[in-house]
Amino acid sequence: MNRLVYWMENNLLPIANRIAQIRWLVALRNAFVSVMPITIAGSVAVLIKSLIDAARTQLGWDTFAFAMQPLTRISNIVWRGSFALFALFLSVSLGYQLAKTFEANRLAGAIISLSSFMISVANYAQIKLHGENVTVKQAFGIEQFSTTGIFTAILFGSLGFGIYVLCYKARIMIHLQANLPHAEQAAFDSLIPGILAIFGVGAINYLFQTFVGTYFGNWLLKAIQIPLVKLGQGFGVVMLVTLLVQVFGFFGLNGLAVLSPILDSIWLTAQNVNVTAARNAQVPKFIWVRGSFDSFAWFGGTGGTLMLIIAILLFSKRSDYRTIAKVALAPGIFNINEPVVFGLPIVLNPIYFIPFILAPLVNVAFSYWITVMGLVNPVQVAVPSVVPPIFNSFLACNYDWRAIILAIINMLIALAIWAPFVFAADKIADTNHPRTFFSRKY
């Protein structure tokens, strides 16, 4: 086991560290985090609408549903102003975070990213009129404003900002001798770089539309985004990403942060499609989405560490372990696992390597096939990560009581996987405690 840990430390950890330090990836991760209020607001609107609809159709509470009509209409308005414009908010957030990371004008970065995205879904759109496809010129493909346009927002938001920051850093700007207020000076500094960036993106889109015959966002959706999201529904891909998140976590890296661009671009996109379907009373399209990991595997955080805490409290005789478990229990209930990951520690602890990797893999595999068989609803509501397990699953699956049973079964499976290693840790003498983070004898 020690040899495996050392090999992974020497070969895999440097790669993960380099990935985690790529500034564009850091900015992209922060951009997705920044739009969380939009995601949660839209999901709450779905939950409210679904609850009222269920009360009318399943319980026969017609009077209640009628009385709640104003709340339903408010939820629809909230939806249209939040989730239905997800890609717009993401493009603004991405430009801001990129400007923050590369030390440029943040407001200009946000505006240029938004403009670059809008250029990429503009010029003309195709609509159906009386069963026929009609081309409307000088229009926006408004379906791209929602989660459909996530990839376009990321690609062209980054491209527009890239042109802008290169010109900005090269000091290609209007140099004024007068002492201007800071806001005016910042605007003049960003004027030429911003114009070059916007016209550069416009030229690229003009050439693309001329030779391909459609705007970039529409082509990207059909040629790349849809195939990638479908690829993410494959069992092997789901298991691979789960494995990588756990391996990075074992070495003290935040696997969710390292792989956030992949998780969010593929599975968050799928989740948003499911959320939209649930809002429109349609059958969710995707089996496995971003929230599926949280609902059915990462109880208490990556690794299912809440079950380790419970296993220690139930079975361990070591006072030091029990003390750490008591301290980590409350944060673990709300899916915060740093106290146990670094306090026990789990990081680079050979005793806990196997269960830390194995428990989420088994939970994900079991939940994936249960969902494929239709025994539980796919996740179709975005739930905040701090919502405790079981309740998280119930809400995420749109009030499906079967999700509660699945979550409890998975928690018991994870507990059974963790328990033997807790017993093993008890037998280790105090003088042979597992090495802590990056401690090693040479």
Cα–Cα distance between 72 and 70 in angstroms, integer?
A: 5
How confident is the model at residue 126, as a pLDDT?
A: 62
Which pLDDT value is given to residue 403? 93
Is 389 a residue whose pLDDT tops 70? Answer: yes
pLDDT score at 437: 39
Using 50, 70 and 90 to split pLDDT, how confident is the model at 127?
low
How much is the average pLDDT of 88-111?
91
Q: How far apart are the first and last CA of the chain?
A: 17
Residue whose pair of structure tokens reads 């040629």 in the numeric block: 223
- Find out whether 256 and 290 touch, Cβ atoms under 8 Å: no
pTM over 0.85: no
| pLDDT score at 435 | 45
Residue 408 has pLDDT above 90, yes or no: yes
Q: What is the pLDDT of residues 316-348, one digit of tens each?
A: 888 888 888 888 888 888 887 877 887 777 877
pLDDT, residue 33, reads 78
**How far is 65 from 54, CA to CA, in rounded Å?**
9
Identify whether the C-beta of residue 385 lies closer than 8 Å to the C-beta of residue 291. Answer: no
The residue among 436, 423, 415 whose CA lies nearest residue 304 is 415
What is the rounded average pLDDT for all residues in the chain?
A: 81
| Across 195-221, average pLDDT | 85
Per-residue model confidence (pLDDT) at position 440? 38
Q: Answer yes or no: is pLDDT of 268 > 70.
A: yes
Supply the pLDDT for residue 409.
Answer: 94
Quick check: 218 pLDDT over 80?
no
The ranges assigned to domains in the chain are 2-22+232-432, 35-81, 85-229
**pLDDT attached to residue 229:** 84
- Quote the pLDDT of residue 369: 94
pLDDT over threshold 60, residue 161: yes
- Residue that wins the pLDDT comparison between 51 and 229: 229
The rounded Cα 409 to chain-centroid distance in angstroms is 25
Which of 356, 364, 380 lies closest to 291, judged by CA? 380
Local confidence band at 6 (pLDDT 50, 70, 90 cut-offs): low
- Asked if residue 406 has pLDDT above 80, the reply is yes
pLDDT of residue 2: 55
Residue 441 has a pLDDT of 36
Confidence label for 140 from pLDDT (cuts 50, 70 and 90) = confident
The token duo for 32 is 């997705």
Confidence of residue 111 (pLDDT cuts 50, 70, 90): very high
Please tell me the predicted confidence (pLDDT) of residue 122: 73
From residue 216, give the alpha-carbon distance in Å to each of 124, 206, 224, 243. Answer: 11, 9, 11, 34
Better-scored residue on pLDDT, 232 or 254: 232
Pick the most confident of 68-82, 199-213, 291-305, 400-414: 400-414
Instruction: Place 267 in a pLDDT band, splitting at 50, 70 and 90.
Output: confident
Structure tokens at 211: 């030779």
Condensed to tens digits (0 to 9), the pLDDT of residues 357-378 reads 999 999 999 999 999 998 999 9
DSSP 288-357: S-HHHHHHHT-TTSTT-HHHHHHHHHHH---HHHHHHHHHHHHHHHTT--HHHHHHTT-TT-HHHHHHHH
Distances (CA, A) of 363 to 27, 152, 258, 413: 31, 33, 22, 7
